[in-house]
Structure 1
Amino acid sequence: FITHFHGDHYLGLFGLVQSMSFFGREDQLEIFGPAGTEDLSGNLRSIGNFRSNFEITGHDMGSGDRVDCEGFTVHAHEVSHVVPTLGYVLKEDDRPGRFDLAKAMELGIPEGTLYKDLQQGRTISWNGMNIRPEDVIGAPRPGRKFVYFGDVYPTPQLLDIARGADLLVTEATFCDEMVDRAVETGHSTIGQACEIARNAGVKRLILTHFSPRYDKDRIISEADFPSVIVGEDGLSLELPYSE
């Protein structure tokens, strides 16, 4: 998924695709992004007289478009920057509700295969009763929500996009003292990124895309958010469910 066509956000694809081919990739590669992504996929195949071992397909997306994947959906949203730019929301499918063991015991259902049938959504017959999954299983539990903004100028729209996210990854190019420069270039300050996260009820925040003039200590000192991480290459983390 590509946010926009500034060089630092997509030019690495050319080397990445060649490396994938060198290492034997055969599966189709699908690339999603703003208008121009379909054309980009053709350039990836032709640049440097390079032929990939796998098919590359580009998909132009607009605000409101979605990509349905196994177990989750990715939604595209137009956001504000100096060129056409998309932000993305990855939303996991809802999970089954919790199995109410006390209720199952109250109904006299023995442990074992009947529990499994109910948990897999099948109605069972027991002691002359038809027992439906919803009789012993609670309401579906929401999946996790992950929001990604590449380059972005803060607008009220971002609050709606990021609302309730379990994780927000967003840029914070400048410290707050350079807010005028941020406005001029269509970027966010550290304080603005944290404000979006607070007002949107985000649970965890990763800040990225810093100006090289700032070190990690400076970024952390300005990041007014209870659960904030300074993004860096190779970072991985486990994202817990809210319930």
Structure 2
Amino acid sequence: MRVTFLGTSGAVPTTQRNTSALLVNRDGDRLLFDCGEGTQRQMMRFNTGFAVDHVFVTHLHGDHVLGIPGLIQTFDFNDREDPLAIHAPSGTRGQVENLVHAGGNDPAFPVRIHQVDAGDVVLDRDEYEVRAVRTDHRTNAVGYALVEADRKGRFDREKAEEELGIPPGPKYSKLHRGEPVEHDGRTVEPEEVVGPPRPGRRLVYTGDTRPTDAVAAAAEDADLLVHDATFASDWADRARDTAHSTAREAAAIADRADAKRLALTHISTRYAGDHTPIEREAREHFDGDAWVPDDGERLEVPFPDEADAE
């Protein structure tokens, strides 16, 4: 799983940071979370490719959606034929349709708008799902959790071959699928050579939000939590008034959730020249890895057992 931070600024872009967008490449599935103005250029600049089939919108404030019209028109210019799904909070269909058809544009490819509520399974795949998470902002808003299914346990080839005398071949595959096999006059059960299921990865992206119990629950044991950290605590009143979080509050959520990594995003232009107050404050209140990613930064998210082995 590769995460590319396309836009990490707050409501206003800076010369170094674009407005909100995050691209997740999950084994070839490219999932775009939010699409602030200029996202398509960021995608070109950072070589993510345009093979995006799903856009997950947290809310309809401009810094999270104004890149949609340009992105769709670029898809059109590139003769796209595959459908595009845009997932957005309930009650926003009309606004999303206006973005899709901005300037009288009528895409030649299907654009399907799906309205979602907190708790919905927004995208259901065999190996993972994307769920909507309740957040707290000034408008109808959700976050998203990408949750992978458990993986098969490790296959103990040495035991199968040397202790049980099973030669490599189809029986290995059957055992790894959880099916018993007959060998040397007895039944070999899968649990004899296959370890317990191994957890998949979990990524949570909040969009703009106050700290919430729902995000903490969704981010339990998360491999990566991408959380609003618009301000440092000296602007806590402003964060509360505008329904954003401070770095300290984001860190507290990550700490409660026992997340492994915390990426602090939606950084106010107050910190355009120096984001260290945000980073320092989060690190004081969270023992895991907390940082402010730069636009264009890529992060490989390992499986939990691989991370533990590092």
Are 1:78 and 1:84, in contact at CA under 8 Å, matched by a contact in 2?
Answer: no
Determine helix, strand or coil for the equivalent of 1:75: strand
Give the match for residue 32 of structure 1.
87
In structure 1, the residue matched to 2:142 is 86
Percent identity over paired residues: 45
Question: Aligned partner of 2:141: which letter?
Answer: T
Take 1:220 and 1:81, find their aligned partners in 2: how far apart are those partners? Answer: 23
Matched, 1:69 2:128: no
Q: 2:277 aligned with 1:222, yes or no?
A: no
Deviations 1:78-136 (A, max 9, x none): 21111111011110111100112354232221233432332244432211122232331
Checking the alignment, whether the CA contact within 8 Å between 1:31 and 1:37 is kept in structure 2 is: no
Q: Is the 2:68–2:100 Cα contact (8 Å) retained in structure 1?
A: no
One-letter identity of the residue aligned with 1:36: G
Q: Name the SS for the 2:97 alignment partner.
A: helix
Give 1:8's match in structure 2, choosing from 36, 57, 63: 63
Cα distance in 1 for partners of 2:57, 2:223 equals 21
Query: Where does residue 171 of structure 2 map in the other structure?
Result: 114
> Hey, what's the Cα distance between the residues in 1 that align with 2:76 and 2:126?
25
Following superposition, the deviation at residue 207 of structure 1 comes to: 0.6
- Equivalent of 1:234 in 264, 277, 296: 296
- Name the aligned partner's letter for residue 146 of structure 2: L
- Highest CA radius of gyration, 1 or 2? 1
Select the structure with the greater relative contact order (CA < 8 A; seq sep ≥ 6). Answer: 2
1:180 maps to what in 2? 237
SS of match in other structure, 1:170: strand
Report the 3-state secondary structure (helix = DSSP H, G, I; strand = E; otherwise coil) of the residue aligned with 1:137: coil
8 Å contact kept, 1:119–1:133: yes
Aligned pairs, how many?
A: 243
Structure 1 residue aligned with 2:190: 133
CA-CA distance at 1:157 after TM superposition? 3.1
- Answer whether contact 2:135 2:209 (CA < 8 A) is retained: yes
Partner of 1:166: 223
* CA deviation after TM superposition for structure 1 residue 168, in Å: 0.3
Q: Quick one: distance in 2 between partners of 1:145 and 1:163? A: 9
- TM-score relative to the length of structure 2: 0.74
